[in-house]
Amino acid sequence: MTATSQGSRPFDSIYRHGFARVVVAVPEVALADPATNAERALDFLRKADQQRAALVVFPELNLTGYSLEDLFLQQALLDEAESALEHVVKESKTLCPLLLVGLPLRIEDGLFNCAVAVHRGRILGVVPKTYLPNYREYYEKRQFRAAEALVSREIQLAGQKVPLDRHLLFSASDLRDFVVGVEICEDLWAPIPPSTFAALAGATVLCNLSASNVTIDKAKYRNLLCRAQSGRAVAAYAYSGTGYGESTTDLAWDGHAMIAENGDMVEESQRFGLRGCQLVTDVDLDRLAAERMRLSSFSDCAREHRETVSRFRTVEFELEIDEAVPLQREISRFPYVPIGAEELDERCHEAYNIQVQGLVRRLEAANIERLVVGISGGLDSTQALLVATRAFDLLERPRTDILAYTMPGFATSDRTLRNAHALMGALGVNAEEIDIRPSCRQMLADLDHPFARGEDVYDVTFENVQAGERTSHLFRLANHHSGMVLGTGDLSELALGWATYGVGDHMSHYNVNGSVPKTLIQHLIRWQIHSSEGTPEAADVLRDILDTEISPELVPGDDQGAALQSTEAKIGPYELQDFNLFYLTRYGYRPSKVAFLARAAWSDKSLGAWPSQMSQAKRNEYDLPEIKKWLEVFLFRFFAISQFKRSAVPNGPKVGSGGSLSPRGDWRAPSDSTAEVWLRELRENVP
């Protein structure tokens, strides 16, 4: 599948942007009634076709029911099951999804528990169950044989000659990376599930046709298995468990359905339904391919098991879904920030303590007694100071050894100056104010800058003289007090190059915020307000800092006191630029896909997911033209003009799995590249 042919689909189609719609169907079981089960399966299949799904997965032995015991040895039932399969195959001719159905098949004088792959009237292959449970309530070996007993590699079925093998993959020729691997129920419980080898052979969507009965807490274990297998295999894992209608002679069934992706549970059913259920989600194939490409251990493992991996045969088919198919998956507007309250609390706790531990270790290793930090009254320096006070508390050192300085310049507002003093006072650090304007005037005069002659010229020199003067003061203060300068700049600023290089806010002795994006810093501060680890005495000032316009405060406002500088008006909303940063650096997505995802998240309230602490007042929306505009700004600043700053960043701890931009860690790139490839892809592919 070429990028060009996939890219010929409409921009509004998920199939242009590396997604595949997966449906897990759990029909009500008509026990020992294959004809009825076939019709119920077709009802789900037709609905999935209307949804333009690429794949539908049914439960184990869904054409007969699982709990038939010795009825599986009745020839009339087996004949009826094969007739039901023929009916499903015939009816599938005009339907687009690949479907996986389960039934018993007589092969080589034995009976096998099989999954059959069908697409548009063609049987693509038959996959027999590898591991048959024969313990406690399970006695499958009484009726069935395991896959290893087979000799043949082909079978005549429904008038077709089709592949027969537990080592089969089903690959869409017109959708890159959509490769389906199949296993059946107990296979997932084995120490090495067959789907592991299928993934190493190239399968990105692993399917389990299951008939796992329910006991107390078993659903939790299934959930764990599916998430773990999807994570280990770097794949999607679609699990369909049989439900209502199975025999309750000695067991019960809950109809458990799940779709996991790379360790995350994307969709999970409500269990114990009486009329069946269906899960639908759009699996991100690009995400899986990107992860596998980066994980050297994945390909190493495939090479280690090359003998098994090489046994897999691939059967190709063509989806032929060329129309617009809107995304049906929740996209978080804040990928660095979890949505749920419990997960968000855990993320903030982890991030904060990683920052604290990094600083504690650096202070001890360098035998540093004092810390020097500049406090602006803004978000980043606030978070750095909160981390510093906690570090000193853990080290049992007085907070007064934290030397905090606020350094007003030509554009410092009364509000931020007031908040800087209030914060330093609330946290009990050694607080001082140094007016940098006299030294800045001297430097501007030395430069023969127009401002020194009374002209209102606020150019980049004027701005950077102030930024550089603050940093110069901090380093000299650190020399003077035998201390260390704590950096405050965050990941978002590094990405956009929004820092004065070298002698400005780009530099410090150690930076605890360097891998923390702006959107997460906002939530870390909110968390501090409410957390037991927080500082209640600083709550009021922290709230005001969160509500303050983000500004470098380097250019004076007008006569009415209005600020002339807004950071986000210049480089774009941080919430949108953090979204762009995550998907471009974490997964290497094409800009057109990033724009597609951003529109799904930011222009439709029904899809855009919000962290629990976000207030209604701050819920913005962006349409596609605005998304494209700011993404273009991001691409130019990130790829073309900012790498030299990232190539020389101070030490600091990596905080999140979203990555850092340290040249010693997650991001290594030349400083003299261009952005043309990314800009061209955006301009040519986003309407």
Residues annotated catalytic, as ranges: 60, 129, 185
Structure tokens at 577: 């630029």
d(CA 608, CA 597): 10
Half-sphere exposure of 560 (CA within 13 A, CB side): 2
Q: Is 35 left (phi over 0), alpha (psi -120 to 50) or beta?
A: alpha
Label the pairing between strands 19-26 and 277-284. antiparallel
CB burial class (10 A; 0-12, 13-18, 19+) of residue 137?
A: exposed
Q: Please, are residues 589 and 686 in contact by the beta-carbon 8 Å criterion? A: no
CB burial class (10 A; 0-12, 13-18, 19+) of residue 249?
A: exposed
Distance of CA 469 to the CA centre of its chain: 40
The DSSP secondary-structure symbol of 244 reads B
443 by DSSP, 3-state: which?
helix
Task: Enumerate residues 6+ apart whose C-beta is below 8 A from 458.
Answer: 451, 554, 555, 556, 564
d(CA 360, CA 642): 30
Q: Which residue pairs, CB below 8 angstroms and at least 24 apart, start in 440-443?
A: 440/409, 440/410, 440/465, 440/466, 440/469, 443/469
Q: Please, are residues 405 and 411 in contact by the beta-carbon 8 Å criterion? A: no
d(CA 78, CA 461): 84
Q: Which of 604, 384, 361, 354 is nearest to 493 (CA)?
A: 384
Label the pairing between strands 430-433 and 483-487. unpaired
